[in-house]
Amino acid sequence: MWTISEVKAKGREAFKANYWKSVLVTFILSMVTGVAYSASSAGNTSGTETSTLDLTTSEQLAVLGILGGIIGIGLIIGLLIRIFIKNPLEVGCYNFFKKNVLNPPADLGAVKEGFSDFGHIFCTLFLRDLFNLLWTCLFIIPGIVKAYSYRMVPYIIKDNPELSATEVITRSREMMNGNKWKAFLLDLSFIGWILLSIITLGIAAFFWVGPYMNSTDAALYLELKDKQ
């Protein structure tokens, strides 16, 4: 049975053995995630006061049409970034951290491997995100629980390219059975580091906390894979 201290120690050791590359990969992952989120939410906060303007009906319809177009374009751009950039980079970055835990120092070329077998990665991560969304729409707590169930999907998809999208998700769920609560406690053990990141306006997150957590997550995957 794995312990939180052992998994964190493995992640920390791997991260420190390949410090600057781990920092760079974490930065790439954070930036592309932020860009995808920002693009998909573009327009949601614009034009909310149109009802207070003294406009004719036709003018109001025109304004609403423009705002709807802006929102639609933002959603489309966000979706395209997620499909063609964010998802492959997510798989590639996790692949880097996994390889770095296995045999540090890993090469940055591991990140590019996320763009191989693009169709399979797209389908798998699309289903993962869809399932997460549907569970979250029910209630917040089931959505969080399922997010932990699907946590290992980006790792499994590279280790088991022969599996279908649904099989990858099922494998992740099986690996996390009986481990979700402990994985939550593992994340909770970083609360002090997260507070430090907030206090330092994200500086600590980029140069220590983010790479440390990503490396620890990869160490957890390898631990569960061995046990399975």
* Burial class (CB within 10 angstroms; exposed 0-12, middle 13-18, buried 19+) of 158: buried
Torsion of Cα atoms, 162 then 165 then 170 then 175, to 10°: 60
Residue of 2, 13, 32 lying closest to 215 (CA atoms): 13
Query: Would you say the C-alpha torsion 123, 83, 25, 6 has a positive or negative sign?
Result: negative
Mean pLDDT along residues 81-92: 84
Crossing angle of helices 191-199 and 210-227, in 10° steps, is 160
Residue 142's pLDDT band, with cuts at 50, 70 and 90, is confident
Mean pLDDT along residues 185-199: 96
Residue 50 has pLDDT above 60, yes or no: no
Tokens representing 88 are 């492959």
Domain count, the chain: 1
Mean pLDDT along residues 120-135: 89
Residue 33's pLDDT band, with cuts at 50, 70 and 90, is confident
Select, from the ranges 5-9, 37-41, 79-83, 124-128, the one with the highest average predicted confidence (pLDDT).
5-9
Residue 72's pLDDT band, with cuts at 50, 70 and 90, is low
* Ramachandran angles phi, psi of 44, nearest 5°: -70, -25
Residue ranges making up the domain that contains 48: 4-99+107-227
Torsion of Cα atoms, 86 then 91 then 92 then 98, to 10°: 140
Please give the DSSP secondary-structure letter assigned to residue 106: P
